[in-house]
């Protein structure tokens, strides 16, 4: 049964939660605390899966509480409720919080956030890996891209579009920026799925502060894996995104779908990045074993970790409030049997990127199957023509 803790210093709000969610007591263990200190005391004696806390409370505020919980109880999913927030509150909260909800939020919105937060965790039958993912506050960026971003931000006349173009090349920067811009802090009525739109919402001042003063980004510290692998992972993600954008434009008229496919392509292997940065020795052995026995990496991952890099990536993307369609594409990017056209665009782009770069990360090269051809409602010849066109013209 799911264990949920609500924290708010206003007694009437806690009474409201108790009344509103009374009907969930058959599926939730519900706990209440009227301060950060009371919440921490309760956690010493009670197992909790999710905490939902108000931001502004006397004494220990919501950000300080969640920062403490992240360190002491990293497995707990952390959600914060916030009204109008200043820049300092945003900075203090962004690293400690998985999701941000507007205050006030409807009971339906809170329930949906809770249910959605745990849904992808059920696909990871490995408590240690769930704990590792829940602890993540930022992901490592490619050092040269990080330095390039720093140099641009130090220039008073930098262009936001130029900045977005560099950031979207880095899956870690993309994930961190989209997590923030899709939070309740900015009150955007729909999910943002492009870096150009995200940086325009955040603006020059906030982006500079996030990167230069508050270390929103970090660089890769995985010394146990060859630098060549890390660089290839970034190259593969960018090439997959390039092919995905090119192919999606030829298959869909709706820009939202094109944007979601392209975003998913740029971060589809974010689970690999998580493993490489947090479990480098384990991940290195997985790659070696997959190559040695000539079997797909996801099969080896399931046998050894009870999950895959796709499931790990989808879990984090879901926790960080990525658009649901993007989360599903990340989760299923190796599941070619599913009859879903955007997924096959991603699959084709993934395979094309592997072939174009000759990067297969040490495990068997994937090939395009008959399903990939049929889903496009095109002949094999026309698909090959589309791929050839994308190879020569880019996006």
Q: Per-residue pLDDT tens for 200-232?
A: 888 888 888 888 876 778 876 656 566 777 788
Mean pLDDT of the 345-351 span: 90
Going from N- to C-terminal start, the domains of the chain cover 2-123, 140-219, 227-393
Mean pLDDT of the 7-23 span: 94
Say if residue 58's pLDDT is above 60.
Answer: yes
**What separation in angstroms does the CA of 199 have from each of 39, 126, 162, 206, 327?**
35, 35, 10, 9, 21
CATH fold for the domain made of 227-393: Hypothetical protein af1432 (1.10.3210)
Mean pLDDT of the 141-154 span: 87
Q: Per-residue pLDDT tens for 265-315?
A: 999 999 999 998 899 889 989 988 988 898 889 999 999 999 999 999 999
Q: Can you give the pLDDT at residue 268?
A: 96
If we measure between CA atoms, which residue out of 143, 188, 152 comes closest to residue 170? 143
Helix 341-357 × helix 255-267 angle, to 10°: 40
Mean pLDDT of the 195-202 span: 90
Quote the tokens at residue 239.
């090439």
Helix 87-94 × helix 171-181 angle, to 10°: 130
Q: Can you give the pLDDT at residue 27?
A: 92
Ranges of beta strands (E only) in 250-368 are none
Q: Per-residue pLDDT tens for 19-40?
A: 999 999 889 999 999 999 999 9
CATH fold for the domain made of 2-123: Rossmann fold (3.40.50)
Mean pLDDT of the 376-384 span: 59
Mean pLDDT of the 122-147 span: 86
If we measure between CA atoms, which residue out of 296, 292, 314, 278 comes closest to residue 360? 296
Q: Can you give the pLDDT at residue 359?
A: 64
Q: Can you give the pLDDT at residue 395?
A: 46
Contact predicate 200/160, CB 8 Å: yes
Token pair 């990017």 is found at 333
Mean pLDDT of the 98-126 span: 86
- Looking at per-residue pLDDT, the higher value among 369 and 153 belongs to 153
Mean pLDDT of the 59-65 span: 93
What angle (nearest 5°) sits at the alpha carbon of residue 123, between those of residues 220 and 127? Answer: 65
Quote the tokens at residue 108.
């339906």
Most confidently modeled range among 4-18, 113-127, 278-292, 324-338: 4-18
Q: Give CA–CA dist 14/33, Å, rounded.
A: 8
């Amino acid at each position: 049964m799911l264990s949920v803790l609500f924290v708010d210093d206003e007694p009437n709000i806690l009474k409201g939660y108790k009344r509103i969610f009374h009907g969930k007591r058959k599926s939730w263990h519900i706990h209440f605390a009227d301060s950060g200190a009371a919440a921490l005391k309760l956690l010493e004696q009670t197992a909790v899966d999710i905490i939902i806390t108000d931001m502004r409370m006397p004494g220990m505020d919501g950000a300080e509480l969640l920062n403490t919980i992240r360190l002491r109880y990293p497995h707990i999913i952390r959600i914060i409720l916030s009204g109008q927030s200043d820049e300092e509150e945003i900075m203090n909260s962004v690293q400690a919080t998985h999701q941000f909800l507007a205050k006030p939020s409807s009971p339906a919105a809170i329930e949906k956030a809770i249910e959605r937060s745990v849904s992808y965790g059920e696909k990871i039958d490995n408590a240690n890996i769930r704990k590792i993912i829940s602890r993540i506050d930022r992901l490592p960026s490619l050092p040269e891209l990080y330095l390039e971003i720093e140099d641009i931000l130090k220039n008073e006349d930098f262009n936001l579009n130029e900045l977005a173009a560099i950031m979207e090349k880095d899956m870690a920067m993309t994930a961190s920026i989209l997590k923030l811009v899709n939070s309740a802090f900015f009150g955007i009525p729909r999910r943002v799925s492009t870096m150009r739109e995200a940086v325009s919402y955040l603006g020059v001042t906030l982006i500079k502060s996030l990167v230069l003063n508050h270390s929103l980004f970090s660089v890769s510290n995985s010394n146990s894996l060859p630098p060549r692998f890390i660089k290839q992972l970034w190259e593969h993600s960018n090439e997959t995104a390039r092919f995905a954008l090119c192919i999606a434009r030829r298959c869909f008229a709706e820009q939202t779908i094109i944007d979601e496919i392209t975003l998913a392509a740029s971060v589809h292997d974010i689970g690999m990045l998580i493993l490489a940065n947090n479990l480098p020795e384990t991940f290195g052995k997985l790659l070696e074993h997959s190559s040695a026995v000539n079997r797909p990496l996801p099969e080896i991952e399931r046998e050894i970790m009870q999950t895959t890099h796709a499931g790990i990536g989808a879990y984090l993307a879901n926790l960080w409030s990525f658009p649901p369609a993007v989360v599903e594409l990340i989760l299923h990017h190796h599941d070619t049997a599913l009859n879903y056209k955007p997924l096959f665009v991603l699959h084709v782009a993934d395979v094309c990127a592997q072939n174009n770069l000759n990067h297969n990360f040490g495990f068997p090269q994937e090939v395009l199957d008959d399903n990939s051809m049929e889903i496009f409602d095109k002949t094999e010849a026309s698909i090959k023509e589309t791929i050839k066109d994308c190879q020569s013209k880019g996006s």
